[in-house]
Structure 1
Amino acid sequence: MSRLSVNGVDLYYEERGEGIPILGVHGTPSSAVMWADAAEELALHGRCIIYDRRGFHRSAPPAPFATLDLVDHVDDAAGVLAALHAGPAVVIGRSTGGLIAIELARRFPDKVKALVLLEPALFTIDPEADAWARSLRLRVLERSAGQPGLAAETVIRESLGDATWESLPEDLREMFAGTGHAVLAEINGHGMDLSEDALELDEDKLEGIRRPTLIVSAEESPEACRLVNARLSGALPFTRTVLVTGGHIINPAHPAVLDFVDGIAASKDAWA
């Protein structure tokens, strides 16, 4: 079990492979546990680093955080790369992790070689998606009042459907339930996808993210996710898009992602 002290917090991380750095940023609610199989495959294409974000699973402190802000997660991602001397990296972000990846590329462009966005949770970019996220936020707060352990379950049931939650093995349900405090801390924090003041990026700010970007959508995901991806594909300057089968929990080691990573590794300038 490897750990790093970054920005005053103790983070669990795993590292495997060699070559171009690849940083995986998990969603909410989640953990690097959900990336274990993908990390094995990604490690055949580069130096793969995955970690539990602050407050989540093996990076949860003894006393839960009251709030978690987007700036915390972005600074931590930058700190992980710096501590491991691993930048610039191909940053793969799924859902909330994609939101963090976007802001990492905007604030720390020197640490990002390319982006892989697996339905990033930048819901404010589209009015319908924003309304969907704000409704989800209220439902999570209502149903988890006094019961933090229900927060993660509610997010999954409300956004991905009851069948998705019920299909999870018991150990994963327990892991997700344990992230409830972190889920609520993000909702009560600033800049996160379900925060009251979620991050807003206009076209000028997105235009400034001049890194090659793969945007991945899934056929069975919530409509809000596809709306976000459609907007991003028109706003980010160097993008390619792909539609894959399945739902929102997109495989970070999908063949389209591996092909993209290999292309970046082979490129001398990576469009930068």
Structure 2
Amino acid sequence: MSRVSVNGVDLYYEERGEGLPILGVHGTPSSAVLWADAAQELARHGRCITYDRRGFHRSSPPVPFESMDLVEHVDDAAALLAALHAGPAVVIGRSTGGLIALELARRFPDKVQALVLLEPALFTIDPDAAAWARNLRQRVLELASGQPGLLAESVIREAAGDAAWEALPAGLREMFAGTSNAVLAEINGHGFDLSDDALELSEEDLAGIRRPTLIVSAEDSVGAFRAVNARLSGALPFTHTVQVTGGHVINPAHPAVLDFVDRIAGTDRAASWHQSDGT
């Protein structure tokens, strides 16, 4: 068990392998627990670092624990990389973690060598996706009204389907339920996908993220995620896109991701990537 103190909180993290730094950023609700198998595989391709974001599972929450803002999580990721002398890194973000990864690359470009975005939750980039996210926020709050402990379960059921929740082992359901306070804090905070004022990035903002980027979509995800990815593939300067089987919880160590990481490890300059198609 390893911990590092950054920005007033203690973050739990795990580190495996050596070489090219790889940072895994989990979604909401979630934990590095769900990245354990992927981290073992990623460690064969570089120095893999996964962590529980502030307030989630084994990392400490802020005090008071009433709200959390996107900027805090971005600052935590940057500080974690700095504390571990691990930048610039290939940053792999899943769902809300992808939102954090994008902002990390925009605000701290020196910390990021490349991005892997597994259906990032930047819903404001597409009108239909933004409407879906607003409805999701409302449904989740209604479902968990008076029962805040159900927030994490409600998010998973609404975003990934009832079957995804029912398939979880009892221990993971308990872990997810324990993150409900963090889910509520994000909803009450600023900039997150389910916040009242979700992050909006302009075309100029996105064009300024000049890092090789792999964008991954899943065949069985809801249309909002695919719409976001389609918009991002046209807005970010250096992208390659792939579609994989399954649903929203995409494997961070999918062969397409491993191939991308190996390509990044084998080049020193993002300029070797052609603009737009990433080939």
Measured in 1, the distance between the counterparts of 2:58 and 2:145 equals 24
Q: What corresponds to 2:71 in structure 1?
A: 71
Q: What corresponds to 2:258 in structure 1?
A: 258
Contiguous gaps of at least 5 residues in structure 1: none
1:247 CA drift (Å): 0.4
Q: Which amino acid aligns with 1:120?
A: P
Q: What corresponds to 1:172 in structure 2?
A: 172
Measured in 2, the distance between the counterparts of 1:63 and 1:234 equals 40
1:61 CA drift (Å): 3.5
Query: For the Cα contact (< 8 Å) 1:14–1:51, is it kept in 2?
Result: yes
In the superposition, relative to structure 1, how do residues 150 and 17 fare at CA in structure 2: closer, same or farther (>3 Å)?
same
Q: Which amino acid aligns with 2:106?
A: R
Query: Which range moved further: 137-146 or 12-21?
Result: 137-146
Query: For the Cα contact (< 8 Å) 2:22–2:90, is it kept in 1?
Result: yes
Q: What corresponds to 2:234 in structure 1?
A: 234
Q: What corresponds to 2:52 in structure 1?
A: 52
Runs of 4 or more off by more than 2 Å in structure 1?
60-64
Contiguous gaps of at least 5 residues in structure 2: 273-279
Q: What corresponds to 2:92 in structure 1?
A: 92
Q: What corresponds to 1:160 in structure 2?
A: 160
Matches within 5 A, 1:101-116: 101-116=101-116
Secondary structure at the aligned position of 1:48 is classed as strand
Query: For the Cα contact (< 8 Å) 1:55–1:64, is it kept in 2?
Result: no
Query: Which range moved further: 222-231 or 141-150?
Result: 141-150
Secondary structure at the aligned position of 2:15 is classed as strand
1:19 CA drift (Å): 0.3
Q: Which amino acid aligns with 1:142?
A: E
Q: Which amino acid aligns with 1:239?
A: T
Query: For the Cα contact (< 8 Å) 1:64–1:182, is it kept in 2?
Result: no
Measured in 1, the distance between the counterparts of 2:41 and 2:160 equals 26
Matches within 5 A, 1:125-144: 125-144=125-144
Measured in 1, the distance between the counterparts of 2:120 and 2:93 equals 7
Q: Percent identity?
A: 80
Secondary structure at the aligned position of 2:270 is classed as coil
User: 1:185-230 CA deviation, whole Å, 9 max, x = no partner?
Assistant: 0000000000000000010100000000000000000100000000
1:118 CA drift (Å): 0.2
1:116 CA drift (Å): 0.2
Measured in 1, the distance between the counterparts of 2:176 and 2:231 equals 30
Q: What corresponds to 2:182 in structure 1?
A: 182
Q: What corresponds to 1:197 in structure 2?
A: 197
Measured in 2, the distance between the counterparts of 1:166 and 1:79 equals 36
Query: For the Cα contact (< 8 Å) 1:211–1:271, is it kept in 2?
Result: no
Q: What corresponds to 2:4 in structure 1?
A: 4
Secondary structure at the aligned position of 2:58 is classed as helix
1:60 CA drift (Å): 3.5
Q: What corresponds to 2:220 in structure 1?
A: 220
Q: What corresponds to 2:277 in structure 1?
A: none
Measured in 1, the distance between the counterparts of 2:14 and 2:150 equals 28
Measured in 1, the distance between the counterparts of 2:18 and 2:32 equals 19
Q: What corresponds to 2:117 in structure 1?
A: 117
Query: For the Cα contact (< 8 Å) 1:64–1:181, is it kept in 2?
Result: no
User: 1:29-64 CA deviation, whole Å, 9 max, x = no partner?
Assistant: 000000000000000000000000000000144967
Secondary structure at the aligned position of 2:248 is classed as coil
1:146 CA drift (Å): 2.6
Measured in 2, the distance between the counterparts of 1:245 and 1:145 equals 34
Secondary structure at the aligned position of 1:252 is classed as coil
The answer to whether structure 1 residue 39 and structure 2 residue 43 are counterparts is no
Q: What corresponds to 1:247 in structure 2?
A: 247
In the superposition, relative to structure 1, how do residues 271 and 62 fare at CA in structure 2: closer, same or farther (>3 Å)?
closer
User: 1:58-103 CA deviation, whole Å, 9 max, x = no partner?
Assistant: 0144967100100000000000000000000000000000000000
